[in-house]
Amino acid sequence: MGILDFLRRKPEPSAGVAKERLRIIVAQERSTRGGPDYLPLLRNELLEVIRKYVNVDVEAVMINLERDSGHEVLELSVALPDIKPAAP
Amino acid sequence: MTEIIVVTSGKGGVGKTTTSASLATGLAMAGKKVAVIDFDVGLRNLDLIMGCERRVVYDFINVVHGEATLKQALIKDKRNETLFVLAASQTRDKDALTQEGVEKVLDELAKEGFDFVVCDSPAGIEKGAHLAMYFADHAVVVVNPEVSSVRDSDRILGLLASKTRHAERGDTTVKQHLLLTRYNPVRVEAGEMLSVKDVEDILGISVVGVIPESENVLAASNSGEPVILREDSFAGQAYKDTVARILGEERPLRFTEVEKKSFLKRVFGG
């Protein structure tokens, strides 16, 4: 890099980063949009109950609300950890 | 039939009032009878941008509460015979505006034979913004090529699809128009700013117009005249194109590419 380049240094091209970040956050927010406000709360409480019995990860509980013509389906899936052989 | 257009964005400071003023003026210049209403109760500003701040006697809330007639409150624009401004109230009472009140005023404007009512929404997603968009047939979502503005406008697009009268009735959808403002082609070319295509890709809708960043916008608001009246400015011309597109005309986008300067211009400036 020459001296002149240093003097004329410009901000880094960052539009690509902005686009990628926006793409992800917008997709995420759209997927939860329109759902009832209690979904995140429900998810947390379920997680607490499940954790009383099984040690699952925060990401293990998935709640999905799907709309079909006229009715809504609340889908709940819990990924249980791999079963380890019981200790002797 | 009266068409109601809301100018909204979610984020503040992106150019809603500038857009409302130019859109309303442009529609009036096209021969339409237009009313432009400031919904920003407590923070009146449209009157300044339209240059009629000293002629405000009665406002929107006065009409809602029956303290003034609509005719008394509508301020006739000094440049266009068919353009009228309804100023926001400076009251601090946030509940001064009600859905029934807004509906009453809009119905009355329809009876008076207005072709268009432009609703200048406040920033945010609170009551004022909700009421500004609730009765809309068209929405102009103003967005800057910048992360927080793009994200907020996606939120607004979601609200337009669910929290409006058309959405609740399920009769038609609110027609959405995305307007990209403060666009700087030089910075886009340098990869420092989101491009028109980037914003369209992220939000999944195409733009109805692109307004280039321009010193004329500040100069216009300084002097209280909508920038669309500055026919020599790129921003003014871009607003003219946008109004034409909203009225159904097809026009190619302008001012979105870097202007190639001639050798002489580069040497002598200009």
Q: Compute the average pLDDT of residues B134-143.
A: 98
Given 3-state DSSP classes, what are the helix, strand and coil percentages for chain A, each rounded to the nearest 5? Answer: 45, 20, 35
Q: What's the pLDDT score for residue A9?
A: 66
Tell me what the mean pLDDT of segment B186-196 comes to.
Answer: 96
pLDDT at position B266: 65
Which residues are bridge partners to B8 per DSSP?
A: B141
CA distance A84 to B62: 72
What average pLDDT score do residues B117-124 get?
97
- Cα(B16)–Cα(A65) distance, integer angstroms: 34
**Residue B19: pLDDT above 60?**
yes
pLDDT at A2: 56
Q: Does domain A36-79 have CATH number 3.30.70.980?
A: no
- The answer, yes or no, to whether residue A36 has pLDDT greater than 60, is yes
| pLDDT band per the 50, 70, 90 thresholds, residue A32 | confident
Rounded mean pLDDT of B209-232? 96
Mean of the per-residue pLDDT values of chain B: 94
pLDDT at site A87:
59
pLDDT higher than threshold 60 for residue B168: yes
Domains in chain B and their CATH numbers? 3-265 (3.40.50.300)
Rounded to 5°, the CA angle A29-A15-B243 comes to: 75
The DSSP H or E segment spanning B185 is: helix B185-189
| Closest approach of B188 to chain A, Cα-based (Å) | 8
Q: Is B56 left (phi over 0), alpha (psi -120 to 50) or beta?
A: beta
pLDDT of residue B71: 96
Which residue in the block uniquely carries the two structure tokens 């128009």? B177
Q: Do B191 and A13 touch (CB under 8 A)?
A: yes
Instruction: Tell me the whole-structure pTM to 2 decimals.
Output: 0.84
Q: What is the token pair recorded at B127?
A: 């009551």
> What band does B156 get if pLDDT is binned at 50, 70 and 90?
very high
Residue contact A15–B191, C-beta within 8 A: yes
Q: Which residues of A touch B151 (CB under 8 A)?
A: 22, 25-26, 29
When mean pLDDT is compared across A64-78, B65-79, B184-198, the lowest value belongs to A64-78
User: What's the confidence (pLDDT) of residue B267?
Assistant: 65
Is a pLDDT exceeding 80 seen at residue A69? no
- Is the pLDDT assigned to residue B183 strictly greater than 70? yes
Q: What is the pLDDT of residue B9?
A: 96
Instruction: Answer yes or no: are the C-beta atoms of B1 and B114 closer than 8 Å.
Output: no
What are the structure tokens assigned to B44, written together? 């009146």
| B102 within 8 A of B135, measured Cβ to Cβ | yes
Instruction: Identify the residue with better confidence: B202 or A1.
Output: B202
Facing residue for B158 by CB, picked from A15, A18, A33: A33
pLDDT at A1 over 60: no
Find all residues with CB under 8 Å of B184, minimum gap 6, and list them: B145, B193, B212, B213
A30 pLDDT more than 90: no
Q: Are B38 and B129 in contact (CB under 8 A)?
A: no
Structure token digits, residue B1: 């039939």
- What is the ipTM metric for this complex? 0.85
| A61 contacts A50 by C-beta, under 8 angstroms | yes
Percent residues over pLDDT 70 in chain B: 96
Which chain B residues touch A14 with a CB distance below 8 Å? 191-192
Q: What is the Cα–Cα distance from A9 to B188, expressed in whole angstroms? A: 17
Higher pLDDT, A57 or A8: A57
Instruction: Give the distance from residue A30's alpha carbon to the nearest chain B alpha carbon, in angstroms.
Output: 8
* B144 in Cβ contact with B15 (< 8 Å): yes
Summarize the confidence of residues B4-27 as an average pLDDT: 97
**Nearest residue, CB atoms, B198 vs list A11, A19, A25:** A19
Closest CA to B103 of B78, B70, B69, B134: B134
Record: contact B188-A15, CB cut-off 8 A = yes
Residue B236 assigned ligand-binding role: no
Please tell me the distance from the alpha carbon of residue B137 to that of residue B132, in angstroms, as a whole number: 11
